[in-house]
Amino acid sequence: MPPTIYKRTIIDEILHYFPTDDVIVIQGARQVGKTSILKYFQNLFSEQNIPYLYIDLEDSRFVTLLDQGVDEFLNYLRGEGYRLSDFSSDGKKLYVMIDEIQYLANPSSFMKLIADHHQYLKLIVSGSSSFAMKSKFKNSLVGRTVNFEIYPLSFREMLSFKKTHYKPDVPPTAVKIQELQTLYLEYVLYGGYPKIVLTPELDRKEHYLQQIIDTYIRKDIRDLADIKDITRFNKMLEVLSSQSGNLLNIAELSNTCGLARQTIERYLFLLEETYILSLVRPFSRNLRTEVSKTPKIFFHDTGLMQMLWLKRLQKEALGITFETSVFCELTKQHGRGVIHYWRTIDKKEIDFIVRLPERVIPIEVKLHFPRHTPPAINSFWRTAKAGTPTPYRVVGYYGEPVMPQMIYPWQLAEIQAT
């Protein structure tokens, strides 16, 4: 029996670009489900009798074929029985899915030639390293691609994978809240990698996460950065994972790991470009009163973070892990570029500032719901000069919200609509 292919939230957004001539680029860390998204499209094409081709560039034979150029690829398609002249004359498309496009020597030229001269071929490509793809994607592709970033599962997606129903427009009962709390604790403790979510046993979750660390993170970064001292790089990863949610202190990191500042900055860039972590920049409108440069560091998966830090998954949620899980949720909903934090010289601080086109939303994260509005919220509107005050949110887990602005983490998806 073939494995179940689950529908990710982003699929509908990608489908919106199927009728266009854009090359669809799907990128994200390894094991987050990019190939499963392509498999979902395969099933969709099969059900609707739409012609398609799937190519996995982990198979070096196809790398050799595509590196020989577009003409050789067209000959291959003809040899596989595709009547290309029919597509060209009828205005129909042959959907060509290429997994791990970064393995090609010159993917930019290949994609540009198809986009410009063979628009009956609809390219849907995936890649596991933004850095490798950016280094090979040239300016000639500008205006020809539409990009989608894939992350580990959101909590809503995790509920779908576990076949748990949740309707945000229906007021939840006490029983439903308790069920969601139990599942969100699992999400905090183990993270959102699809294979981890679908694996019931704790020891297997740990084994699979360690495989991702050993096989993909360390190997990918080592190959991309040509790392000579693996021991010090691993030490840096461990230290960073223990500091998720904290201000980044490169000087301290340099002393702890025995790495030069320039080397650490290079490694951080690569860890960002391979979707392992993000540097969250401060929100600032008043440079005299706010810290304006120092970023915070956040990992994109709490399970991965804990395995790097503590070498095993935990049984209780820590404040640092809960805050990281909220960052992960916000990133999946809004993207990396609009998430900030706020901190003043006199240590007033708000965990997250979400900068949306129409408003700015301050978000405080508390493992236990507080009894009152955090004082930093009012200070933010006075000091940051962020425009007309809009509803803030306090995200908590333990206890009960005592104000409308206090929400559970699974309600974060609604903040843009309110």
* Residue 127 shares a structural domain with residue 205: no
* Residue 138 shares a structural domain with residue 160: no
Note whether residue 6 is domain-resident: no
> Which pLDDT value is given to residue 136?
65
Mean pLDDT over all residues of the chain? 90
High-pLDDT (> 70) share of the chain, %? 92
Residue 297 belongs to what H/E stretch?
strand 296-299
Six-digit token string for 236: 């840096």
Choosing from 150, 168, 197, the residue where a domain stops is 150
* Residue 87 shares a structural domain with residue 170: no
For the cut 70, the answer to whether the pLDDT of residue 2 exceeds it is no
* Residue 317 shares a structural domain with residue 365: yes
Digit-coded pLDDT (tens) for 190-240:
999 999 999 999 999 999 999 999 887 777 777 777 777 888 998 999 999
| Three-class SS of 124-169 | EEEECCHHHHHHHCCHHHCCCEEEEEECCCCHHHHHHHCCCCCCCC
Domain CATH code at residue 76: 3.40.50.300
Note whether residue 221 is domain-resident: yes
> Which pLDDT value is given to residue 391?
79
* Residue 131 shares a structural domain with residue 220: no
Q: Which phi and psi angles does 404 have, rounded to 5°? A: -60, -30
* Residue 159 shares a structural domain with residue 202: yes
Residue type for position 248: L
Distance (Å, rounded) from C-alpha 84 to C-alpha 118? 9
The answer to whether 97 and 103 have CB atoms below 8 angstroms apart is: no
Q: Which phi and psi angles does 174 have, rounded to 5°? A: -60, -35
Note whether residue 3 is domain-resident: no
* Residue 140 shares a structural domain with residue 179: no
* Residue 189 shares a structural domain with residue 104: no
Q: In the 8-state DSSP scheme, what is residue 199? A: -
Residue type for position 165: H
What secondary structure does DSSP assign to 323-358, as a single string? Answer: HHHHHHHHHHHH-GGGEEEEEBTT--EEEEEEE-SS
* Residue 67 shares a structural domain with residue 89: yes
* Residue 121 shares a structural domain with residue 55: yes
* Residue 337 shares a structural domain with residue 264: yes
For the cut 60, the answer to whether the pLDDT of residue 417 exceeds it is no
Q: Where are the beta strands (DSSP E) in 191-256?
A: none
* Residue 279 shares a structural domain with residue 322: yes
Distance (Å, rounded) from C-alpha 65 to C-alpha 13? 31
Reported as a pLDDT band with limits 50, 70 and 90, residue 102 is: confident
Note whether residue 255 is domain-resident: yes
The answer to whether 386 and 158 have CB atoms below 8 angstroms apart is: no
Name the nearest CA neighbour of 51 among 97, 98, 80, 94.
94
What residue numbers bound the domain in which 319 lies? Answer: 155-417
Residue 300 belongs to what H/E stretch?
none
Digit-coded pLDDT (tens) for 344-381:
888 889 999 999 888 889 999 999 999 988 888 888 87
Note whether residue 238 is domain-resident: yes
Digit-coded pLDDT (tens) for 232-281:
998 999 999 999 999 999 999 999 999 999 999 989 988 998 889 999 99
Distance (Å, rounded) from C-alpha 60 to C-alpha 81? 22
Choosing from 150, 184, 210, the residue where a domain stops is 150
Note whether residue 2 is domain-resident: no
Q: Into how many domains does the chain fold?
A: 2
Note whether residue 4 is domain-resident: no
Note whether residue 90 is domain-resident: yes
Digit-coded pLDDT (tens) for 305-357:
999 999 999 999 999 999 999 999 999 999 888 999 998 888 889 999 999 88
Choosing from 150, 182, 213, the residue where a domain stops is 150
